[in-house]
Amino acid sequence: MTKKNAAMEIENLRKVYSTKNEDTVAIKDVSLTIPEGKFVSIVGPSGCGKSTFLHIVGGFIEKSSGKVKVRGKEVEKPGPDRGMMFQESALFPWLNVFDNVAWGLDIQGMPKKEKNEIVERYLKLVRLWEFRNQLPSQLSGGMRQRISLARILAFDPEVLLMDEPFGALDAQTREEMQVELLRIWSESKKSVLFVTHDIEEAVFLSDTVVVFSGRPAVISEVIDIKFPRPRDLNLYKSPEFRDYRNQIWDLLHQEHHKPVQIVSEVVNG
């Protein structure tokens, strides 16, 4: 059954929120395969269920039906085989940078020497080794997310899940972080499932962009981004980049035309 080169397989995933009076379908039978070593982004309007989708893959939210497999193994609950990066900083405010990154290794009971080597390697990879004795609260939002990334890479998950990790950053920091992420990713080559509402971010980072439509979430399009790697920020200026961006923009805004027309009818009538 399992495809040999699939990092993540999602089959007919459905999420229904039930209240006393009604059932709301948030995700409607979505199937998606993320090949090994690929960077796949999900874009969609806010509230479309893309973040819920990612949390289900992470095991943080229960699915209603369907299957989620990571390297052939079915997902039931959160686990260190999937490294999840959240939009808000999940760094522990009572621990310094070093101990934050070491936390997952401490939990495993890793010997101190080995642990220290790993923490040093990843803090150097994200270029924040000098800040190891600082508290997260003393660092900027961008630095905090780089440390979050180091913390996740340190416990060596099989795949990375990222939920709008740069969503809370300003535009310029966000671009710097995108370049950083690609640099770091190119060294680990782990499969990534990345959720964002930022079309350009998705195009810049990804091998494949999956476009979700609004509630309930269904896949409206899967677009392969055929830019060579390594990529740099100049890519933003290329006409091909614009084409991808416009294509996805159109897909997302088909959804929005309907309510706009209704509003204008009301105004005219």
Partner 1 sequence: MDNKLLRMIAVIELLAIFLIWELLAVFQWFPTYLSSPLAIFKSMGELWLDGDLLNHIGSSLFRSLMGFLLVVIVGVTLGILAGYYRRVGTFFDPIVNTLNPIPKIALLPILMVWFGISDTTRILIIFLTAFFPCFVATRDGVKSIKQVYLWSGQNMGASTFQLLRKIVFPVTLPKIFDGLRVSLGLTFVMMFSSEIIGAANGFGLGFLILNADLGGRTDYMFAGVAFIGLLGFIFDKLLLTIRGKVLWWDVNKA
- Can residue 113 be called a binding residue for partner 1 (CB under 8 A)? no
- Can residue 93 be called a binding residue for partner 1 (CB under 8 A)? yes
- Can residue 44 be called a binding residue for partner 1 (CB under 8 A)? no
39, 86, 131, 241: residue in contact with partner 1 (rule CB under 8 A): 86
Residue 46 vs 108, nearer CB to partner 1: 108
Contact 13, 219 (CB under 8 A): no
Distance CA 68, CA 10 (A): 5
In this structure, what token pair is assigned to residue 223?
Answer: 């677009």
Distance CA 22, CA 14 (A): 16
Distance CA 26, CA 45 (A): 13
Residue 16 vs 95, nearer CB to partner 1: 95
3-state secondary structure of 22: coil
In this structure, what token pair is assigned to residue 80?
Answer: 């260190």
Find the binding residues for partner 1 in span 215-234 (CB under 8 A): none
- Can residue 135 be called a binding residue for partner 1 (CB under 8 A)? yes
Residue 54 vs 211, nearer CB to partner 1: 54
15, 82, 174, 231: residue in contact with partner 1 (rule CB under 8 A): 82
- Residues contacting residue 128 through CB under 8 Å, at least 6 positions apart: 97, 143, 146, 147, 150
Stretch touching partner 1 by CB under 8 A, among 101-109, 110-118, 170-178, 259-267: 101-109
Give the dihedral sign, CA 45/47/50/54. Answer: positive
Residue 160 vs 223, nearer CB to partner 1: 160
The residues that touch partner 1, with contacts defined as CB under 8 A, are 58-60, 77-80, 82-84, 86, 88-90, 92-95, 103-104, 107-108, 135, 137-138, 151-152, 155
